[in-house]
Chain A
Amino acid sequence: MPEEPDIELSFRGGRLVSALPIALFIAWAIFQSGFLGIGDTTGLVTGMLTGLIVGMLFVRGDWKDYADVIFAGMTRRVAATAVVAWLWAGMFAETIQVGGFVDGLVWAATVLNVGPGLFPAATFLLAALLATGIGTGYGTAIAFTSLVFPAGLLLGANPVLLFGAILSGAVFGDNLAPVSDTTIVSAVTQDADIGGVVASRVKYAVVAAAFAIVAYLIAGFGIPGLWSGMPHANVTGQVSASVSPWGLVHLLDIAVVIVLAIRGRHIIEAVSWGLIAAALFNIMLGAAGLVDVSAGSMILFSAPQNGFTQMVDTLPIIGAVVETVPGAQAGVGGSIYSGAVGFFPLIVLTLLLVAGAEVMRAGGGFDAIQELIIDTIATTVRRAETTMVLGTALVNATVTINTAAEIAIAPYVATLGKRFNINGYRRANILDANTSALGYIFPWGGGLLAGFGAMQGLVGGEATPWFTQEMLVNPASVFPYVFHGWFLVSVFLVAAWTGYGREYVSDRTSEEVSRV
């Protein structure tokens, strides 16, 4: 890639000190979200900024090089991919939400008699389906937390279990989708074709998913749904009066996104068409009086009251998205606005995190770890594969944005795997499965935070006026319930030891990288 910079950094105290910015950030994240229970993403941004400043003090030589490395990291394509996915998925999810999609799901769940016990397992399957279609686990975590999570709560499902099921679905899709950025990274870095990589990983994904479904069924019926204080009765009464199936027409625009994504269209294109369809449906549903939605629900200019704005407010078409308010309340709103704005803190955090990973690369922290692994730990093929699984897990625990973590660990997996002639497909599968899984398990993982961010958006949201601050699931409490993620890691640990699915370079050579 042309963006690969050649700058090398030297740190006081050795190469491992280059991991200091990320290490400080992790300590900050554990303290903030784990100990204090504060899920504020902007707080994590502060942690990463602090880490990057402290790291600079340990650099030998010109500090300008350190600054250049930060710039090189922030302009990497992986960061831009995440930013684009969030902005587009956020606008889409929010627009479906104001179009009554949650009501439609509640209605469908009631009609199909999906009770609180069955709901987490059904959610896992639906989220897995969506994520496999759109190829973004983050987008799925956001969309399902915005749309299906409140529906599940209303039915009385356990909130922590439900959030775990959503994240599990995201893991499944991130791992298996041909259009997923992690799938693409895994194939390209291990010299294997994407179609072959996807086909060869089905054997691991289905085994883990089968265990996960059983686990969600057992947990769904075994763990009580509501913690004390949730006004279940009131909530149910409030919604059952207004619940309408019409929001389910948005399944069509979700289908548009999935079909376009499967046909290999870019995520920007696929989601844009879905968004356009959703907006048109909303206008039609609103005009027909079937759902309480209008153009102003999607984009709304709240202008300070004066003669001119009052005139604009009365105009045809433009007037539909303009209202006049007292000066202090002026601003822009609507689903397209709030869907995108909700991700601003996470976008900044991602850019800084990728910069932190770049510092570690330039400072030799990654190399130091690689040498240690090859010389002392990975001495047999079983130990090499186990090291690849655990190493990928460890890097995902530190880098937190899973695509960035995957890019960081990919060269190790390639080097270690080639030393034992492990087939490119197998290497790509070990790399991607554990990247996908761990990115949604740790409380500071990007995928989990993406979902949590969406959950925060429910507090006082237009579609969920009943959702209060106390109903937020603590990000540190969900990790045991991301069943598919845990089973996927377990499947690979067992596979490393038993040889399940193992193929050597001499057995089958992977095809051209550029083919899908």
Chain B
Amino acid sequence: MSRLDKLLAGWTFRTATPEFEADEVITAFVSERNGSGLSIRVGDSTIRVADGKDAAVEDKVRLKVTSFDTDSHVGTGELVEVLGPEG
């Protein structure tokens, strides 16, 4: 990313409930762990991952979105890779 791009990034009003498409791959931090599942909150939208493997809260992960409901802002996804706390 160039210096100019960095300067011009983010001059917008970003929603509190971002939306995702099925099959989209995103990078994010794990917000919560419940049982073997994970919750990843991006703003006030949540993506649930049923099989969280060994990812811990605050680990950075790459995940593939499998579904996303634009009304409730809740979706599901599956883990692609655990990048770890430093990732």
B22 CB within 8 Å of chain A: no
A502 CB within 8 Å of chain B: yes
A420 CB within 8 Å of chain B: yes
Interface string of B45-68 (1 = CB under 8 A from A): 000000000000010100000000
Contact A195 B3 (CB under 8 A): yes
Question: How far in angstroms is the closest Cβ of chain B from A252?
Answer: 28
Question: Quick one: given A381-B44, A418-B58, A505-B27, are A499 and B13 in contact (CB under 8 Å)?
Answer: yes
Question: Quick one: given A199-B7, A505-B27, are A415 and B58 in contact (CB under 8 Å)?
Answer: yes
Question: How far in angstroms is the closest Cβ of chain B from A406?
Answer: 20
Tally chain A residues at the interface, Cβ within 8 Å: 31
- What residues on B are CB-neighbors of A501 within 8 Å? 10-12, 14
Contact A504 B9 (CB under 8 A): no
Closest B residue to A497 by beta carbon equals B16
- What residues on A are CB-neighbors of B11 within 8 Å? 203, 501
Bound form: Cα–Cα A503–B43 in Å: 9
Main secondary structure, interface of A, reads mixed
Pick the contact of A382 from B6, B16, B40, B86 — CB < 8 Å? B16
Bound form: Cα–Cα A258–B3 in Å: 21
A211 CB within 8 Å of chain B: no
- What residues on A are CB-neighbors of B44 within 8 Å? 380-381, 420
Bound form: Cα–Cα A80–B27 in Å: 38
Question: Quick one: given A380-B16, A420-B41, A420-B42, are A505 and B28 in contact (CB under 8 Å)?
Answer: yes
B80 CB within 8 Å of chain A: no
Closest B residue to A419 by beta carbon equals B31
Q: Of residues 134 to 178 in A, which have CB atoms within 8 Å of B's CB atoms?
A: none
- What residues on B are CB-neighbors of A200 within 8 Å? 6-7, 9-10
Contact B42 A504 (CB under 8 A): yes
- What residues on B are CB-neighbors of A418 within 8 Å? 29, 31, 58
Contact A506 B31 (CB under 8 A): no
- What residues on B are CB-neighbors of A382 within 8 Å? 16
A500 CB within 8 Å of chain B: yes
Question: How far in angstroms is the closest Cβ of chain A from B18?
Answer: 6
A196 CB within 8 Å of chain B: yes
Contact B27 A509 (CB under 8 A): yes
A421 CB within 8 Å of chain B: yes
Bound form: Cα–Cα A195–B7 in Å: 10
Interface string of A190-224 (1 = CB under 8 A from B): 01000110011011000000000000000000000
A508 CB within 8 Å of chain B: yes
Closest B residue to A380 by beta carbon equals B44
- What residues on A are CB-neighbors of B86 within 8 Å? 191
Contact A506 B26 (CB under 8 A): yes
B34 CB within 8 Å of chain A: no
B15 CB within 8 Å of chain A: yes
Question: How far in angstroms is the closest Cβ of chain B from A205?
Answer: 12
Question: How far in angstroms is the closest Cβ of chain A from B52?
Answer: 16
Question: How far in angstroms is the closest Cβ of chain B from A190?
Answer: 12
Bound form: Cα–Cα A488–B15 in Å: 21
- What residues on A are CB-neighbors of B16 within 8 Å? 380-382, 499
Contact B40 A421 (CB under 8 A): yes
Contact A195 B6 (CB under 8 A): yes
Question: How far in angstroms is the closest Cβ of chain B from A416?
Answer: 11
Bound form: Cα–Cα A191–B29 in Å: 13
Contact B42 A421 (CB under 8 A): yes
Bound form: Cα–Cα A100–B10 in Å: 45
Question: How far in angstroms is the closest Cβ of chain B from A512?
Answer: 11
- What residues on B are CB-neighbors of A499 within 8 Å? 13-16
Task: Determine which residue in B3, B41, B60 has the highest number of CB atoms from chain A within 10 A of its CB, and name it.
Answer: B41
Question: Quick one: given A200-B9, A381-B16, are A505 and B29 in contact (CB under 8 Å)?
Answer: yes
Question: Quick one: given A381-B44, A421-B42, are A504 and B18 in contact (CB under 8 Å)?
Answer: yes
- What residues on B are CB-neighbors of A511 within 8 Å? 1
A228 CB within 8 Å of chain B: no
Closest A residue to B26 by beta carbon equals A506
Contact A503 B9 (CB under 8 A): yes
Question: How far in angstroms is the closest Cβ of chain A from B41?
Answer: 5
A113 CB within 8 Å of chain B: no
Question: How far in angstroms is the closest Cβ of chain B from A420?
Answer: 5
Question: How far in angstroms is the closest Cβ of chain B from A26?
Answer: 32
Question: How far in angstroms is the closest Cβ of chain B from A376?
Answer: 16
A242 CB within 8 Å of chain B: no
Pick the contact of B43 from A196, A500, A504, A509 — CB < 8 Å? A504
In the assembled complex, 13 residue pairs joining A and B whose CB atoms fall closer than 8 Å, in A order, are A196-B1, A199-B6, A203-B11, A380-B16, A381-B43, A418-B31, A420-B42, A421-B41, A499-B14, A503-B14, A505-B29, A508-B1, A508-B9
B residues engaging A (CB < 8 A)?
1, 3, 6-7, 9-16, 18, 26-29, 31, 40-44, 58, 60, 86
Given contacts A200-B7, A499-B15, A504-B18, 13 further A-B contacts (CB under 8 A): A195-B3, A199-B7, A380-B16, A419-B31, A421-B41, A425-B10, A499-B13, A500-B13, A500-B14, A502-B43, A505-B60, A506-B26, A509-B27
